[in-house]
Amino acid sequence: MPGNRKGDRRERELVNELHDRGFAVMRAPASGSSTDRELPDVLAGNGDVFYAIEAKASNGRPIYLTGEEVEALVYFSQNFGAKPRIGVRFDREDWFFFHPADLYVTDGGNYRVKKETALADGTDIEELTGGSEQTTLTSD
């Protein structure tokens, strides 16, 4: 399925960007593999902050997550001691991140992120990882 390949490529991009910013990063095994437990797509930490990230990419259409996906992310994050984040990337745009509580909830109990919302309200990767960059700056 071409859609999954694209998602995988986007996920690898995200892993590489976090790694380049000084985070230890790992991707969860593909969903539907040997585990029944819902795992976040990406785990990242730098010793100060830890994120559990559910990553979604879109060609421009709104991104939807089920209530179960978001609940599983929050549950895992709380038990693991990580901050839950939904990472979204629309074609020709950068990654943007949201806390699950900041997402729009549909009448059906799903979560939605529109491209305009991501660009206007999302946290970019600079801001998400900003704390780590400041610790590596040296003053003259």
Q: How far apart are CA 59 and CA 76, in angstroms?
A: 28
Decide: residue 128, CB within 10 A, 0-12 exposed, 13-18 middle, 19+ buried.
Answer: buried
Tally of CB atoms within 10 A around 99: 12
16 in Cβ contact with 2 (< 8 Å): no
11-49: b (≥16 Cβ within 10 Å) or e? beebbebbeebebebebbeeeeeeeeeebbbbbbbbeee
Binding residues: 11, 41, 54
Binding residues for Mg(2+): 11, 41, 54
Whether 31 is catalytic is yes
Task: Name 47's Cβ contacts closer than 8 Å, sequence gap at least 6.
Answer: none
Active-site entry in 31, 33, 58, 139: 31
What single-letter amino acid sits at 60?
Answer: G
Active-site annotation, residues: 31
